[in-house]
Each structure stands twice: as C-alpha cells, then as structure tokens.
Chains A and B, each alone.
Chain A
C-alpha cells in the first residue's frame, strides 16, 4: 500500500491539483490592485469578482499567500463584542463563515465550539453582563453563566485556578468557533483565481504613484503597474504602505505571540478565554492546544518569539489546567499586530482618491475575514463605504468619534 501510494504520488498522470495559476509577470495595468495576499486581501478580490464582476484585479503578496497574520492567529471566530457597531459587524462575519466551506468548495474545518470568556473578579463580571446585554440587544446568542455551567462544559478546568484567581462566572457565546485559517486564504484564492483574478506571490510593492491626490499606479519588485484603485490589506506592514501615500494613521505595531502544545486526544470541546490571566485556548482538529496571550509590551517590527511569552502563558495555563504541567509546547511564533487606540479596525476610503485601507486589525482580524472582504469590495467598486463599516472610517480620529471597543482579545478589563 505505501509503495502504491508513492507510485501514484510520483506519477505524471495525477499531478497535485493547484489552487490557483502560477502568475509570474503582472500585466501593464489592472482595474484594481490589492496589496497583501492574506485572507482579507484575497476575500476582497473574491467579492470584487463575484459581486461586482470586476475580475481584472491583481493581488500582490511579498511572501506567500496566507503566510502573514492569516496563518499566525489562533483561529477563533466570534461576535461577542462590546459596542453595537462591533457586534453587528462581527456577527455578519460569523454568519458568512457558517456557509463559507460550501461557498468556496473547500473544507475549512469550521467547528462551532461555544466560547467562554472567564471572569475572575467582580469588575470582570460586570463587563460580561454588559457585553451579554449588548449582544442580546443586537440578536447575538451570549449570556452570563456561573461556575457550575462552566464546569459542566469543561470538567477539566480548575474553577479555583489553583487558588490564584477563582472563576466567578463567564460570558458564554454559543456561536464561538474555530476554523483552519490557511484554508480560508486558499479557498478565497482558488475561487478568485477561477473568476480571473491574478495572484502574484513574491511580489513586493515598493511605492505607490499618486498624482494630484489620485492613485495612478504602483511600483513593484516586478515593475510598474498602472491602476487607479489600490487596496492596502497588509496588517502589520500598514504604516510602511501608508507612508508611501503620506497618510497619517494611529496604527502602531506590536508583536502578538502564540504557541501550540503537542497533540493530545480530544478533551477540550470549548474555547476558553481569560482576560485577567491573558489566555485564550482551544484544541485544534489535530489535537494540539492552540494558545495565545496578550500583546508584547512594546513596538517591534519583527516576528521573533520570546521565552518570556511562553513562561508567562504556560504558568497561567497550568493555573487553569494543572494536569497539563507535563505537556510540551512544540511550536511558538509571532505575528505583527497593527493596533488602533480604540481596538477597532480602520476601513474604507482615505484622503487619497483611489487608495483604500483595510487595516488596524490588531488581534481581531481573522474572524472578520469574510465581512471585511465583502465590505471592502463594495467600497472599491462603488467608491462609497457601506454603512456597516462607517464607524471604522479613518476620519473618526480627527472627528473624536472613536468606537470604544474593549471586547477585543487579550484586553483585560
């Protein structure tokens, strides 16, 4: 059997299926150029083609697709945010995710697990009640539960957290899910490519050509491309792109680290988050515990990882699950998170005509992939940002109309 498999694998009659064409040299001009071949950029390309018939589009990726923050997050999808505008936006995304495997004809391993945000203090309980009420008001299934219900859903959890930070209750969010993150990028790439979008890997944008306040083209490592519409969807590289068009933003870059344990038999059904302990954890379909923590405390533009992070995170994980003390961490990594002061994204039009921004995704980008793609495609096609993303416009900072979103991951209340 193994030999037969090898023969089949090496046979020229059965080449490995490719998800998208191997584009090497961009054309002279495109209707739109998307910088960044992550989930967001590829989703925007897909919805531009599908919803608006705009298929003369190039996606430029300086590495390989899905190799940035799309492949570095902890894959949690949820909508239990704190502000009505945030809840509405992320709820639209969760609803799109639920049917996405079918739409993209690719198994995204989308798995609805239920999501508990643990509260260890009275003030955290107050925030959970606040979030639950906002969620219910908007029609999202979230409610506050006590320690008994948490123990029932996850009997392995030490409710006393080794006596360090006893759990008083939690915000339970039924639609909370995990998905295979790189498959999301691959699925969007596959379908966008099928409709005519061209995807260029290892192609770096080195400059954006702006004439009298309008975008006219982009300089790339593979030559100049004429276009009058450019979308920047580059997460941690956003300040380098906005510098090319002289736009000021509040975005700063801090690394966000994560790690996985060695694989185990399935035992953790739910997704658990603790703001006070700076932990979020779920078990992947491979059996690894996927664990994340808070942001690194100062600005760094690199994806280096540190021992401090694993030390801090694992000590809290062992508080929650003492029996994990002998389990090994097998991989750790970091992504560059593009943070905003109000923990909400920056989306839509900018002072430069034809330059659109999909940025400020900090620690909350993966869950928003479908809806950000759809709304940014609409913004590019119509040159008007839809109502759903108006609260996230760049000009909110000049107008002192920040969103006050504190439901983002890794934020302690």
Chain B
C-alpha cells in the first residue's frame, strides 16, 4: 500500500496520511465496570484480518475510516465515518 484513497481528496500518497488505530466503540463510562473500562483503554484486537481503522489525511485535516486487510496490507474501501451507506 503506497497510495490511499481519501474520501474527500481522492488518491494521495501514503506519506500524507497518519494511522489512527482500530475503530472501536466506547463503553459508557458512567455505567461500565472498571474492568470493562480497562479493557477498552488497554486491550486491542491484535490478530490479522479485515479491520475498520481510523486514518487521517494531514494536508486537508480529514479523519475517515478505512477497511483494510492487515495481513495483505490492502485497503478494501474508505469513507467518512457515518457515511458508510452513502458510498
């Protein structure tokens, strides 16, 4: 992967992007237990597969979602968070 499709700016070189980690749902801090919160803060799903990840396009300041196969390092698709269906 040397190029990445930014949902706003199209295909750009990878050097313009920053990896933001896996997309994860935050548990409600008011209702979850300390253990659940610790798991959210520290634990990650480390095994390979097609993962939903945050990526950031630096020059335009765009955060978006990329679905990427972390074994083959191939991006399946990219979209702005919440606009998955529109794509």
Contacts and interface: CB of A to CB of B under 8 A. Distances in A.
A250 B47 contact: no
B19 A398 contact: no
Contacts of B53: 298-299
Interface in A7-53: none
B43 A249 contact: yes
Interface of A: 238-240, 242-243, 248-253, 297-302, 304, 308, 338, 341, 397-400
Interface in B32-47: 35, 38-39, 42-47
Contacts of A253: 46, 48, 70
B16 interface: no
Contact of A397 (B18, B42, B51): B42
Nearest to A244: B47
Given A239-B46, A251-B44, A252-B44, A298 B19 contact: yes
A79 B18 CA distance: 32
Interface hub of B22, B35, B47, B71 (most chain A Cβ within 10 A): B47
5 tightest Cβ-Cβ pairs between the two chains A and B:
A239-B46, A298-B19, A301-B48, A397-B42, A239-B47
A398 B35 CA distance: 6
Interface of B: 15, 18-19, 22, 35, 38-39, 42-48, 51, 53, 70-73
B37 to A, nearest CB: 10
A252 B46 contact: yes
A237 to B, nearest CB: 9
Given A297-B19, A302-B71, A398 B39 contact: yes
Given A240-B48, A301-B70, 8 more contacts: A239-B46, A248-B39, A250-B42, A252-B46, A253-B70, A298-B19, A302-B72, A397-B43
Contact of A398 (B38, B45, B73): B38
Nearest to B47: A239
A248 B19 contact: no
A149 B22 CA distance: 45
Given A248-B39, A398-B35, A304 B73 contact: yes
Nearest to A248: B43
Contacts of B43: 248-250, 397
Contacts of A399: 38
Contacts of A252: 44, 46
Contacts of A298: 19, 53
Contact of A302 (B18, B46, B47, B73): B73
A248 B38 CA distance: 11
B24 to A, nearest CB: 12
A300 B68 CA distance: 10
B46 A249 contact: yes
Contacts of B42: 250, 341, 397-398
A360 to B, nearest CB: 10
